[in-house]
Structures are given as structure tokens and as C-alpha cells.
Structure 1
């Protein structure tokens, strides 16, 4: 069968135009997100009028990089009210225990509790840990935060200021990347600051995003009981999002104050980075459902390159690629200004964008994820099923 070369050329040209259209829409999206991020963090949080007692829940797993510093920050909080810190591990020999004991000796005036309990209540081990440590919680206001989250001294004041509002049932926080030294941590932090955070802020602004993050969740014990306790989320991959949705379903609002905690990025290899980001992408896909495909517009630079490849390199196509990259660099600059720091040099932006696009495409063909050394199948509803090892 003879192939019509004119038809092939027309198809390739149309594909090129389609790629440039996606890149153009994505560039507009990029600039809008950049402006909204800068506007979001300009707001200030007023100090609360009351400082109720707080229990801070901190599930731990292993001696993560930077763990000692993250845990010490909890003991240095500037909060006039009483607060309790409840740490939990599921392994009696977990090296994180030593960090907790060090804190007890260094800060004897802080109410610190450690729960060691091997029981598992579902596929999500973090939630199992939370279920176990609830027996030691003494206060009605609960603060949950992942172990790799860094905070400043005003953290507790700021999140409590939001929760004391009567219509608020849960407070959650955006987070920024805090890379350790090396290429892979910087690329990891860039994904958070130049892709994830702008997308969330824009989604919030137009009413399409309903997020809740494990970086921080603050709620009252009564609200937690209303939604079934942590037990109701023991098999969820995105337990944080599921908790947020359950709180909204009960008629409460979820507040996201204009502040950002830090997520420590310490990946030591490309493989470790890809495993982490693939789990992240599968989590977002499970949350967004069919809408996940729409996030294709958040990858304008790869589509600009595809468009140039299809239509041939010329002054117009090269100019279009440069313009799209320029939009991405503007976003990086404005996000850096909003957050008060620079994550990486501009030359890494194209590398980061191509890597993000590869992860996005691969997420449609991956049905399982690796989490804390275990493999799980992810069902369409976001529930986890452990993979049997042979």
C-alpha cells in the first residue's frame, strides 16, 4: 500500500499545531498561576485571640534525613497555650526513637509522649500509626504533620488562628521544597515549587481545587469522630485528601492560610526521585480521576518542543519554544520572590519540565506504587491493596 506523503505531511503539521496550541494555553496558565502565587502569599495572618490546648501528632518511620531538626522545631514553638507532642512508631527498634529520647532530655519542660505499637489497621501504615497514638492524646485540638515537614516558631499560632473560626472544620497548609545538597533534591524541590504549588493556588482561585495535605492537618477531636476517626482512612493512598473531603461532606470548610511549611527533599538518586514522584503522580491521578488528563496544560515546554520537532526547526518555531520557556522562568522568579528564596538555577527548568512530563505520561500506565519499602496496587478509587511478594 502506497502512503500518501502529502497526507503524512499534513498530519504531522496538524500535530505540530496542536502541540503549540497546548503549549500556548499552558503558558497562559503558567503566567496566571505565577501572579496568583505572589498575590496569595501577600496576605498576613492575624494572631489568634485565644490559645487553646493542642496535641501535635507526629507519626515516625525510620531515621529520615533532617529528622532531628524537624522534631526539635516542635519544641521551639512560640505558643502561649499548653501543647503536647505525641510521637508514634510501629517498630520497637525504630531509630527515630532515639531522636525522641534526645528531645525529652533536651526539653524536659515540654509534654512529650512516645507510643510504640506494632499493630496495623490497614494498608496505610501512617494512618495505622495515627490510630495507635490516639490513645495518648489529651487535648481536643489536634495537629497532624508528616515527619519530613519543617516549621518555624509561629507555625502553631498561625494555624490555630484559622481553626478558631466557627465555620472552619479543618486547616491545612501548602508546602515548599527544602532541598539538601545535590541535583536530585533540587529537582524534587522544583517540582513542588514550580509545578505543584502554582497549580494548587490557581485551582483554589478558580474553585476547581479542594485540597488537603499531609504537610499539616488541624481539626478538633469531635470533627475527627464525626468522620469516623482515622480508622475510616486506613486503606487510602491519599488519606489526607480523603480526610479533607470527609470534613467538607459534614458541612465544614477547609481553610488554607497564606503560609507554607517546608518539605525536606533528600533523594539521593534518579531512581529514588522517580519512585517518589510516581507515587505522587498516582496519588494525584486517584484524587482527580478523569480530570487528571486536563493537567496536560501544566506541561507547556515539552509540548513546545514536540511542536517544533513536528513542524521543523525555524525562526518562528524556535521563537515559540523560547517564549514558552520564558513563561516558565517568569513563574520560577515570581514563586521565588513570594517564598523568599531561590531553589535552583534557571538552566534546570527545562530538565525539570521534561522529567515532570515523563512522570505524567508514565502515571497512566502504572498501577502500583512503592511506599516505605512496600508495593501496593492502587484501585481506581484510590484505595491501596498490598502486592503479595513471592
Structure 2
């Protein structure tokens, strides 16, 4: 390997090490920040689109109902009246005083984004001025709605979103998937906000004022977009409003049936990000110093400087992961799982950078440059 190429790789690896240190510090700072209480507690409608009886669904839905909040509504929606998720909804405990449940059972409209199609069928039952869109697998504590409502006391805030911490289901693929969220997505989101990129919403949970949503064209404006969460944030930003971050992350259960399913899932995420911000997606390679250092070892034939660089990158990455685990209250991951995570992240990055096709719920789409979905089946 030439000296110039090795020098470039070395600079990228060192930048990646600095990034890992900054990310760990941001996670620690975020977890230690105080949890504000809202000055007002307006009624809230929580929209929960469902699709199938996912592992842990009963616990996730029950946690949404178990809120220490004076008045809220939870709207569940399915696009098929025979969906087994409805049985889980029927078996839920009665909601607390001041809460109510509504159920929408399709049929959904022609939106290419099936989640948004489900939300559109639920919308007529949404009653309150603060609207929360939350994924089915989100698990919360009793202060979840307070965390979302508190930032909305500032009239300059149009939407509030939550980070999420992943807990793995059975199998190694699930463990590796959870590592990608806890030590990839979550830290990078905090670093982006620290650098002034507070323009993103995260699909696990988004709270938005009804008036803001309707002024931006409502849910129908998201019908054919893959990145519906980012588009919700764009609606608020287009009105000169900020996107705030909830004080605490929610939790999700990650269950991947196998490595192919995991790769397809993460490829869809990566190409969604690339559709929104391709230069930023390409530049994100700097967040992977271990993979870059390993590439240097391969290209150099195992030269001593390259091996030293790899040792540095691996040590910094491991230290960052341990700090993040402590801050988030997570168990320690195994070194083998972490090594697989590093390899998979780089593979997803490489493949995502070279195409626009995604697989979603068994259907193949091409993500156009404007973020809309074009069916290919």
C-alpha cells in the first residue's frame, strides 16, 4: 500500500477515534441530564400502527397505557381485520382513569408507505391537539408522555422525538442488531445534534402539534415517502419550528430471524438515510475506525504500522462501547458480537452507497432522489 493511501486511511482512523470518544461523552451527558416536568399537560392522542403479533407486543402496548398522565387516548390501527395484533389489543388491561382506547381496522388507502396508509385510516379517530406517532414495539415508562409534552411548552418547538435503546430477542443476529442501535444510531444522533444537526425525527416516537401537522399537509403528505419520520420533522421545520429531543429514550425489542433479514433491514435504513442526505451518508464512514484500520491491514499485507493503527482503533471503540453501556444501563456485550457488528456495519455502508433498492415487508422498492418509493414488484 502506498504511503499516500496509508496516510489518508490513518487520518480517517484517527478522526474516527475522536468521533468515538465524542460519541461516548455525548451519551454519558445525555443519560445524566435532569428530566424536566411539563408546565402544562394537555390531552394527547397516541397513534400505534400495528402489523402482526410481534415478540413482546403485549408488554409494549401495555406500557403505553400505563401512563401517569391526566388525559390521553391510544388509537390502535391494523390494515387487516384478521390481524393477530387485535387479539393482543383485546387482552390488554383496562386503561387508567382519564385514558381511552380506540381501534381502527382498515381498509387502508393506496399509500406506498404501508405504515402511513395505516395511520391515515386511524386519523379520523384521533381527538386531541397533541398527536404522538409511536411504533408498535416501543416500551415506555410512566413518564413517557410527560417527556414528550414538556418541550412543547416552548412555542418555537413544533415536534418532539425520542431516541431508543434496543434490547435483543433470541439469537446472535438480534444481539448484533441491538448493538448497531445502541452503539451506532443513538450516539451518532447525539453527536449530530451537538454539531447543530437537530433536523431529524426518529420513527420510534414523534410528538407533533395537530395544527402543525395539518398546516404541513397532514399525514397524506407522507403517503409515498420511505422516510416518513424525517418528513414529519420537515413539516415542522418548514414552518420555522424546532425539533426537540425527549429527555429519556424509549426501549424497543429487536428480534431478527436471521442474518439475511438483519442485512435487508439495515440496508433499508441506510438507503433511507442516503436518500435524505447522500453526502452525509457517504461521510459517515469516518464513524467506523475499526473497519477502516482493518482495511489498512489487508491492503498493507499486515504491516506493523497498520497493525498498530488497528489496535488503537479497536481499543478506542471498545472503551467507547463500555462507557455507553454504563451510561444507558446495558449489559456488557461480548467481543465476538462487537467484532461482527463492526464487519456488518461496514458491509451495509458499502452496499447502501451503491444502490437505491430496498426490501420492505416482502415488497421491493426503489428509493427515488426525492425520497418517494417506486414499486419494483
Q: TM-score range by the shorter chain?
A: over 0.9
Compare 234-243 and 331-340 and name the one that shifted more. 331-340
TM-aligned CA deviation for residue 61 of structure 1: 0.8
The answer to whether residue 181 in structure 2 is matched with residue 192 in structure 1 is yes
Confirm or deny: 8 A CA contact 1:17 1:307 kept in the other structure.
no
Aligned to 1:225: 214
* Candidates 326, 343, 347, aligned match of 2:336: 347
Task: Give the unaligned 5+ runs of structure 2.
Answer: none
Aligned to 1:254: 243
Partner Cα separation in structure 2 for residue 47 and residue 60 of structure 1: 30
* Deviations 1:199-239 (CA, angstroms, capped at 9, x unpaired): 11111101135210111111111111111100011000001
* Candidates 43, 47, 52, aligned match of 2:37: 47
Q: Match of 2:15, SS?
A: helix
TM-aligned CA deviation for residue 295 of structure 1: 0.7
Aligned to 1:3: none
Aligned to 2:12: 22
Distance change >3 Å, CA 221–CA 202, structure 1 → 2: same
* Candidates 206, 224, 229, aligned match of 1:235: 224
TM-aligned CA deviation for residue 355 of structure 1: 0.8
Partner Cα separation in structure 2 for residue 258 and residue 77 of structure 1: 16
Partner Cα separation in structure 2 for residue 114 and residue 48 of structure 1: 28
TM-aligned CA deviation for residue 107 of structure 1: 4.2
- RMSD, aligned CA: 1.6
Matches within 5 A, 1:2-151: 12-79=2-69, 81-103=70-92, 106-107=94-95, 110-151=99-140
Confirm or deny: 8 A CA contact 2:108 2:120 kept in the other structure.
no
Compare 209-218 and 312-321 and name the one that shifted more. 312-321
TM-aligned CA deviation for residue 111 of structure 1: 1.0
Q: Match of 2:91, SS?
A: helix
TM-aligned CA deviation for residue 36 of structure 1: 1.5
TM-aligned CA deviation for residue 267 of structure 1: 0.1
TM-aligned CA deviation for residue 51 of structure 1: 1.6
TM-aligned CA deviation for residue 106 of structure 1: 4.3
TM-aligned CA deviation for residue 307 of structure 1: 1.1
Aligned to 1:175: 164
Partner Cα separation in structure 2 for residue 323 and residue 78 of structure 1: 47
Matches within 5 A, 1:213-362: 213-342=202-331, 344-362=333-351
TM-score of the two chains, using structure 2 as the length reference: 0.96
Confirm or deny: 8 A CA contact 2:132 2:207 kept in the other structure.
yes
Partner Cα separation in structure 2 for residue 107 and residue 199 of structure 1: 36
Partner Cα separation in structure 2 for residue 349 and residue 310 of structure 1: 23
Partner Cα separation in structure 1 for residue 67 and residue 29 of structure 2: 27
Partner Cα separation in structure 2 for residue 229 and residue 172 of structure 1: 18
TM-aligned CA deviation for residue 177 of structure 1: 1.2
Partner Cα separation in structure 1 for residue 223 and residue 54 of structure 2: 23
Confirm or deny: 8 A CA contact 1:15 1:310 kept in the other structure.
no
Distance change >3 Å, CA 368–CA 314, structure 1 → 2: closer
Confirm or deny: 8 A CA contact 1:162 1:171 kept in the other structure.
yes
Task: Give the unaligned 5+ runs of structure 1.
Answer: 1-10
Q: Match of 1:349, SS?
A: helix
TM-aligned CA deviation for residue 108 of structure 1: 8.0
Aligned to 1:6: none
Partner Cα separation in structure 1 for residue 237 and residue 94 of structure 2: 40
